[in-house]
């Protein structure tokens, strides 16, 4: 699931035309951490996932549903 979450996070970030740095700033996180999440090197806590969803202006449930859809497709 962490691979799929990372892909969903990246897709939403790119759709919103945000750099990792800008997303990190909006979510009050370090830019390196954003990259690690997108590459599935780290797993976010629920609070971090909520902050990311808010920064991306999507619901947490949407972000997770997108990750689940990616996981079900196998990519």
Q: Which domains does the chain have, with CATH numbers?
A: 2-73 (1.10.260.40)
Summarised one tens digit per residue, pLDDT across range 35-73 is 999 999 999 999 999 999 999 999 999 999 999 999 999
d(CA 4, CA 71): 5
Q: How far is CA 54 from CA 5, 10, 72, 73, 74, in A?
A: 15, 14, 25, 26, 26
pTM for the model stands at: 0.91
């Amino acid at each position: 699931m962490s691979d799929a979450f990372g892909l969903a996070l990246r897709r939403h970030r790119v759709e919103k035309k945000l750099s990792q740095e800008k997303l990190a700033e909006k979510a009050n996180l370090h830019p390196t951490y954003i990259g690690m999440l997108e590459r599935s090197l780290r797993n976010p806590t629920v609070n971090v996932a909520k902050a990311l969803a808010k920064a991306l202006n999507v619901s947490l449930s949407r972000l997770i549903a997108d990750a689940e859809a990616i996981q079900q497709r196998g990519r």
